Structure formats: structure tokens, C-alpha cells
Amino acid sequence: MWFKNLFLSNFRNFSRIELEFSPSINIFWGRNGEGKTNLLEALYCLGKGKSFRVESGEQLIKWKEENVYLRGEGEKGNKLFIYEFFITRGSPLIRKVNSHRVNLKDPRHWLWMAIFSPEDLRLISGSPFRRRNFLDTVLSYFNFRYSYLRSLYKKIITQRNFLLSLAKKRNIEKDLSSWDEQLVDKGSQIVKARLEGLKEAEPLFKEVYSRIVGKNSSIKISYKSSFLDKPFPEIPVKEIKEIFWRKLGQMKEKEVEKGITLVGPHRDDFIIFVDGINLNLFGSRGEQRIAAFSLKLSEFFIIESREGESPVVLLDDVASELDPFRQRFLLDFIQNKRQVFITTTQPLLFKSLSSSCTNFYRIAEGKVRREEK
């Protein structure tokens, strides 16, 4: 998979840009604040139909402009596709593939990409939200319906929380019961998918982690549920639903008191154990960063194994956050991928990658200029 080119109009800090890309390595460099990450975001929007930074599409429109337009040619499965992305203030986002409007959540129309940013190095040390979001992203590779399921569950939580916020003012029992059924049904499916996904991802994470640290370690990724005492991948969905219902009943008074949903996959987490040590709680900063680095690299390999070809790799100023050994590992990893986009303030870090297949782009004052070799 790879992007051949990009045209953008009124995206973030850029007015108009046309770029041709190398099928191998593309390096965007410049000072902080010049818009390097914005270019990665534009590619991500084209390939997956959404931003990896914001929920609202209107935030992508250049200040004082009314719309944004992206267009690019991408190759997938040896076939060429034209991707388009439109946003007009006050109107729904539109995405087209080969001139046909497509559903934003349908993975069949994605050009697969995996992004790695400095924030990802805090995946283990950060909040459970970060880990849930990472896990749900990975699950969309395993199960094409998962994005729809997750979207439905979010809507259920929003409606149910709204009802719970009214509980002290009026009787909500009748209205709440229908949302309870949907919560348990969709929530149980999400938990089941997460348990199975972690089981499949664990061996790959172990392999990558062991290569990075240079030794074999005992690895276990444990799912931490808000209602299952002993989560395991083989548990039937029917049993998950039964336990979910019981826990929901036990927590009803507390939920009414607090006005929010306290049970469900939106409250869950996962824990990484290395040689019996809970890295989330007791790992050193270095150990947590290595585990986070390993998780993100595992994501790239998961997509590759699922799709039969390498995804487009987006690296947002990651190298500067790594020690020399991890930098070397990352550079070796890059050279084995088909197409990589890198942002950096230190282009000399990637001097060893310079070849006829490497393009450097200088970004300054809202302009992007490809540098001659």
C-alpha cells in the first residue's frame, strides 16, 4: 500500500499544496509549529476518513475559510484508487473513493495506515482511556464490524447517561430499561471481541518486546473488566451478558446517585505483566516506554498479517523521544516497510536512510518544498 500523491486545499495551516511521494521513505522536516504533523493528518484523513487528532472535522478547516478538500492517489492490492475528502462548515463530512461516496466507517474503503507519535510512548503509563482506544483501533483490523459496534455503544452510553442525569428529577425506570438491554447486548460483544483480540495480539507483542530488550521474557496481557472477575477469551457471550446484567443491577443505585454509567467496556482496561511484574503500576519509566513501543510496532505487524501487505507507516517525531538503541531498531524497522512518512526537526537522524528512494521535504511558513538530492 502506498500514497502516490497529495493535493490539499485549506487544510489546517496550509492554503494549497501539491506533492508527489516516494513509494519508500518520505521525510518532512522543519521547526516545531510549521505543520509537519498536519501533513500526516491529511494523509490519515484521506486513507481512513477521519483525523487521528480531533473529533470535529471543522477543526481541520483553515482559519477564516469555509471548506477543506483533500485528494490523493493510493495503491492497494496492486490497484490504484483515488481518495477524496470534503468538509464544508455546517455540513456532513464527505469521503469518496473513485468518485463514489463511501461510508466513513467501512474498512473495505480504507487505505490502511498505522501512526506512531510521542504520546504513544505513554500508552502504558497513561490513562486507561489511551489503552482502550489503542485496543479498539487494533480490533478494527481483526473485525470489520467492530467500528460500527463501537460507534453504536458510544451512542448508547450517551443516551443512558443523559437519562441517569435526570433520575433525581423524574422516574426514568421505563425509559432506562430499553437502554439497559442495548448496553448489555453491545457491551458484551465488545468485551468478547477485546478478549479474543488480546489473545491473538499477545504472542506478537511478546516477540517484538523480546527482540527489543534482547532476551525472552514471560509476557501476559490481562484484561481488566468492570464486571467480569476472571475474564478469559473462551467465555461465551451469553455468560458475559448474564454477569453484566447482575452487575448492572447491583450498581443501579450508585449510577442514579452519580448520574453516569459505571459498568461496561467503557470502564475497562488491560494490564501488561512482564516476568510477573505489573508494568502499568510497577514498571520503571524505561520499561513502560519499551512496552508501549512494542505495542505500537505490534500494531504494524498485525495489519500486515491481516491485509497481506504493509500498511503506510506514519511516524510523527518519534525518533527524538528514543534512546540510540531504540532509534537504531526503528530505523531497521523502517527500511523493511514499503512506504513510510516521517516528521522530524532533526533530519540528520535519518541521514543513513538517504537513497534514491528517499524524499526530503522542507516545511516552512505554510509551504512545502521537496529538496533535491
Mapped onto helix, strand or coil, the DSSP state of residue 135 is: helix
The reported pLDDT for the residue numbered 354 is 66
How distant, in Å, are the alpha carbons of 4, 49, 97, 100 from that of 94?
21, 8, 10, 10
The reported pLDDT for the residue numbered 156 is 96
Mean pLDDT in the chain? 90
Mapped onto helix, strand or coil, the DSSP state of residue 220 is: strand
The reported pLDDT for the residue numbered 47 is 92
**Which residue in this structure is represented by grid cell 510549521?**
34
Q: What string of DSSP letters covers 142-198?
A: H-TTHHHHHHHHHHHHHHHHHHHHTTTTS--HHHHHHHHHHHHHHHHHHHHHHHHHH
Q: How many CB atoms lie within 10 A of CB 85?
A: 25
User: Domains in the chain, start-ordered, CATH in brackets?
Assistant: 1-112+311-373 (3.40.50.300), 127-310 (1.20.1050.90)
Question: Which parts of the chain register pLDDT below 50?
Answer: none
The reported pLDDT for the residue numbered 23 is 92
Assigned C-alpha cell, 282: 510497577
Which burial class, exposed, middle or buried, applies to 260 when counting CB atoms under 10 A from its CB (0-12, 13-18, 19+)?
middle
CA 123/CA 269 separation, integer angstroms = 12
CA 344/CA 320 separation, integer angstroms = 8
Which helix (H) or strand (E) element contains residue 290? helix 285-307
The reported pLDDT for the residue numbered 301 is 85
The reported pLDDT for the residue numbered 373 is 62
Q: Which distant-in-sequence residues (6+ apart) come within 8 Å of 341 by Cβ? A: 21, 26, 27, 28, 39, 40, 43, 312, 313, 314, 315
CA 205/CA 241 separation, integer angstroms = 29
Strand partners, 8: 17, 70
The model scores a pTM over 0.85: yes
